[in-house]
Amino acid sequence: MALRLRPIRSTDKAALTRFHKRLSDDTRYRRYHAAKGDLTTSDLKYLTEVDGHVHIALVAEVTPPELDGVAGPVADFVGAPEVADLAGVARIVGDPEHPGQAEVAIVVRDDAHGHGLGAELIEGVLERGRQEGVKVAVAQVQADNHRALRLFQGLGFRQRSGHGPVVELVHPLDEDLAA
């Protein structure tokens, strides 16, 4: 089994539905900050039909063993959405009210936690966000979500506000702002 990171596609709706169904209630709650049932048609449209500029999303796709070492069009063809499984999804979405600022969200399959996938996905969307002109990345994390706090802080995010149930973490992506 191998993992590869790639941009989400509109054809990932079935895979994303399966991925979401397998998440524990706690993982869903940490991601959406609310109890979250199955993804609706409009959720799936929003989450998969992204423009790749203001809304960027990366998935970690589990490729079957026979594709180990195979990349490019062959993997794209054989690892078609109906057979591929997802292990994690990260996104960065521009804030229309604060130009240059964008919100990051991340979720990793429960059985894959603690192996560095979350960090890899976040670094991937931050890099793409930077290329699209994002100057400040923001993450909203529940104050008792210690793994996510360690993860974001380990990647350079710092707490901006939040003494309530949700903490806001920020990370300047612009080198001038970070200095």
Ligand X SMILES: CC(C)(COP(=O)(O)OP(=O)(O)OC[C@H]1O[C@@H](n2cnc3c(N)ncnc32)[C@H](O)[C@@H]1OP(=O)(O)O)[C@@H](O)C(=O)NCCC(=O)NCCS
Interface residues with ligand X (CB under 6 A) are 27, 30-31, 105-108, 113-119, 141, 145, 147-148, 150-151, 154-155
User: Distances in Å between the alpha carbon of 105 and those of 30, 80, 109?
Assistant: 10, 25, 14
**Secondary-structure breakdown of the chain: helix, strand, coil percentages, each rounded to the nearest 5:** 40, 30, 35
CB of 30 to ligand X, least distance (A): 3
DSSP annotation of 65 reads G
- Residue number with CB closer to ligand X (76 or 95): 95
Q: What single letter denotes the amino acid at residue 100?
A: G
Beta pairing class for 2-7 and 55-63:
antiparallel
Distance CA 155, CA 120 (A): 10
Q: Minimum distance between the CB of residue 158 and ligand X, rounded to whole angstroms?
A: 13
48/145 with CB nearer ligand X: 145
Rounded to the nearest whole angstrom, what is the least distance from the CB of residue 138 to ligand X in the complex? Answer: 11
Closest of 110, 53, 120, 66 to residue 87, by C-alpha: 110
Give 84 or 141: the residue with its C-beta nearer to ligand X. Answer: 141
Query: Among residues 27 and 70, whose Cβ is nearest to ligand X?
Result: 27
Q: Quick one: 32 or 80, whose CB is closer to ligand X? A: 32
Please give the helix or strand (H or E) that residue 59 lies within, else none.
Answer: strand 55-63
Compute the least distance from the CB of residue 67 to ligand X, in Å. 22
Please answer whether residues 48 and 12 qualify as being in contact, where contact means their C-beta atoms are separated by less than 8 angstroms: yes
Q: How far is the CB of 14 from ligand X (least distance, A)?
A: 21
